[in-house]
C-alpha cells in the first residue's frame, strides 16, 4: 500500500511522535510510506521532525510559504492509496481535495468541522472525541487507542541528569513532561508546588518548551528545574520519582503512557485522556485546575514515597494498532 502522511507542523511533540512511529512501523511492515513535512520541521535542530523518520520512510519537504497548497501538488504527483493527515495543516490539505486516495485524519485533539468534515475517515484516539461529531462523520470514524514504544533509558541517566541539575541522589523528584501550553496546566502545578511547602529534599522538574515557558519560569521558585525541550524524554522520566499531569485538557495523554512504561507513580488531573486511562493509572484522579487539591496530593506523595510499579501495558503496544489502522485504511470494520 502507498501511504502518505501529512505532518505540516514546525516542532516535535507528542502528536508528532505518534505520526512518526506510525510511519516508521508501516514502512518496516513493507508499505511504501512517504512523510510530507514543511521546511520548518526538517531543519537541523533538536526539536525538528525529519531526522526521526526511519531510513525506510521517504521524506518530502514543502516550503513554509503556502504549505497546504504545496502539499496538495505533491500528493497529485505521489498518487498514494491513502493520504493520512495529522493536525491542522495536514487536515486542511485534504479537506475538499478531490482525489482517488482515501483521505484519513487522526484526531490528535478534537473534531473540528473546518478541518475534518467530509474526509473519508477519521481515527479517534479516545471515545470522548466521538461525542462532538455529526452522525455522518461518526459512521466514518474508528476509535483506536494511542500506543507507546517500550524504551530503555540511557545507561546512568538518572544519576547523570540529577548531577547536572543539582539534584541530590536522595531528593524526591516530582516531574512533568510536555509542551508548555495553557492546556497542560503547568501554571496550576507551579502554584500547587508553592502552596505545598514541601521540605528541601522535594524537587520539581518541568521538561518541555512552548508559549508559556517564560511566564512559568518567572512564576516558579528558582530551584524548580526547567531545562526546556528534551531530546531524550525517557532519560528524564528515569530521573523522576513521581510523574505529574495537571492538564486542563489532555485528549489522550500519550505522556501518561510513557510515564506508565517508565513504571512511575502518577498524579493526574481528571482530563479527558486521564479519565480514559483511569483503569490503568490505578489511583484517584484530581480535580482539574485545583491547585489546593494538587498541593495536598504532592504532600501525600512526598510522605508516602510510592515505589515504581508495573502497569498493564499490553493494550497499548503498536503491533495490534497497526493491524487496526490498516484495516480502517481498507474500509474494513475494526475495533479498539
- DSSP code per residue over 281-321: H-SPPBPTT-HHHHHHHHHHHHHH-PPP-----GGG-HHHH
DSSP string, 167-180: --TT-EEEEEES--
Is residue 57 one of the residues assigned to a domain?
yes
**216 and 268 share one domain:** yes
Using pLDDT thresholds of 50, 70 and 90, give the confidence band for residue 333: low
Mean pLDDT throughout 148-173?
Answer: 97
Mean pLDDT of the chain, nearest integer: 95
Q: Which long-range contacts (CB under 8 A, 24 or more apart) does 28-34 make?
A: 28/54, 28/56, 29/322, 31/1, 31/2, 31/3, 32/1, 32/2, 32/3, 32/58, 33/3, 33/4, 33/5, 33/57, 33/58, 34/2, 34/3, 34/4, 34/5, 34/58, 34/59, 34/60, 34/78, 34/80
Q: Average of pLDDT values for 181-195?
A: 98
pTM of the model: 0.91
pLDDT at 96: 84
Backbone angles phi, psi at 40, to 5 degrees: -65, -25
Residue 235 in this model has a pLDDT that exceeds 70: yes
- Same domain? For 210 and 121 the reply is no
Task: Kindly state whether residues 91 and 188 are assigned to the same domain.
Answer: no
Q: Does one domain contain both 325 and 200?
A: no
Q: Are 5 and 22 in contact (CB under 8 A)?
A: yes
- Residue 250 C-alpha cell reads as 489532555
Identify whether 271 is part of a domain: yes
Is residue 268 pLDDT above 70, yes or no? Answer: yes
At 111-143, the pLDDT tens digits run 999 999 999 999 999 999 999 899 999 999 999
Domain-located, residue 109: yes
Question: In this predicted structure, what is the pLDDT of residue 18?
Answer: 95
Does residue 176 fall inside a structural domain?
Answer: yes
Assess whether 210 and 271 both reside in one domain.
yes
The total number of structural domains that make up the chain: 2
Share above pLDDT 70 across residues of the chain, in percent, rounded to a whole number:
99
Whole-number pLDDT of residue 332: 77
Q: Are residues 184 and 324 in the same domain?
A: no
Residue 330, pLDDT > 90, answer: yes
Mean pLDDT across the stretch 190-216? 97
Is residue 179 domain-shared with residue 302, that is, in the same domain?
yes
Residue 305 domain flag: yes
Q: What is the pLDDT of residue 336?
A: 41
Q: What is the mean pLDDT of residues 256-280?
A: 97
| 140 within 8 A of 200, measured Cβ to Cβ | no
335 has a pLDDT exceeding 70: no
> What pLDDT, in 10s, does the model give residues 82-107?
999 999 999 999 998 888 999 999 99
Q: What is the CATH number of the domain that holds 282?
A: 3.40.50.2000
- State yes or no: pLDDT of 151 exceeds 50: yes
Same domain, 173 and 135: no
Residues 282 and 322 in one domain: no
Q: Looking at residue 241, what is its pLDDT?
A: 98
Q: Which domain holds residue 238?
A: 157-314
Left if phi > 0, otherwise alpha if psi is -120 to 50, otherwise beta: which for 252? alpha
Q: What mean pLDDT do residues 12-41 have?
A: 96
Amino acid at each position: 500500500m502507498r501511504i502518505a502522511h501529512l505532518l505540516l507542523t514546525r516542532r516535535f511533540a507528542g502528536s508528532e511522535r505518534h505520526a512518526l512511529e506510525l510511519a516508521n512501523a508501516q514502512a518496516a511492515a513493507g508499505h511504501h510510506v512517504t512523510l510530507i513535512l514543511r521546511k520548518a520541521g526538517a531543519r537541523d535542530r533538536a526539536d525538528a521532525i525529519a531526522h526521526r523518520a526511519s531510513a525506510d520512510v521517504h521524506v518530502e519537504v514543502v516550503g513554509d510559504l503556502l504549505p497546504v497548497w504545496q502539499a496538495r501538488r505533491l500528493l497529485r504527483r505521489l498518487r498514494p492509496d491513502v493520504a493520512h493527515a495529522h493536525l491542522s495543516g495536514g487536515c486542511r490539505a485534504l479537506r475538499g481535495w478531490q482525489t482517488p486516495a482515501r483521505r484519513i485524519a487522526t484526531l490528535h485533539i478534537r473534531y473540528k468541522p473546518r478541518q475534518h468534515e467530509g474526509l473519508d475517515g477519521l481515527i479517534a484516539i479516545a471515545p470522548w472525541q466521538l461525542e462532538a461529531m455529526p452522525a455522518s462523520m461518526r459512521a466514518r470514524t474508528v476509535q483506536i487507542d494511542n500506543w507507546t514504544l517500550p524504551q530503555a533509558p540511557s545507561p546512568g541517566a538518572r544519576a547523570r541528569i540529577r548531577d547536572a541539575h543539582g539534584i541530590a541522589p536522595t531528593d524526591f523528584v516530582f516531574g512533568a513532561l510536555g509542551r508548555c501550553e495553557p492546556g497542560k496546566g503547568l501554571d496550576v502545578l507551579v502554584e500547587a508546588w508553592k502552596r505545598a511547602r514541601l521540605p528541601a529534599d522535594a524537587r520539581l522538574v518541568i521538561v518541555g518548551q512552548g508559549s508559556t515557558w517564560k511566564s512559568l519560569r518567572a512564576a516558579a521558585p528558582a530551584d524548580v528545574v526547567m531545562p526546556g525541550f528534551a531530546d531524550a524524554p525517557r532519560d528524564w522520566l528515569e530521573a523522576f520519582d513521581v510523574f505529574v499531569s495537571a492538564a486542563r485538557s489532555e485528549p489522550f495523554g500519550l505522556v501518561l503512557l510513557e510515564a506508565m512504561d517508565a513504571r512511575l507513580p502518577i498524579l493526574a488531573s481528571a482530563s479527558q485522556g486521564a479519565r480514559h486511562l483511569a483503569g490503568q493509572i490505578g489511583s484517584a484522579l484530581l480535580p482539574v485546575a485545583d491547585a489546593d487539591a494538587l498541593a495536598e496530593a504532592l504532600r501525600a506523595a512526598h510522605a508516602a514515597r510510592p515505589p515504581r510499579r508495573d502497569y498493564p501495558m499490553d493494550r497499548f503496544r503498536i503491533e495490534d494498532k497497526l493491524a487496526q489502522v490498516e484495516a480502517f485504511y481498507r474500509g474494513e470494520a475494526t475495533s479498539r
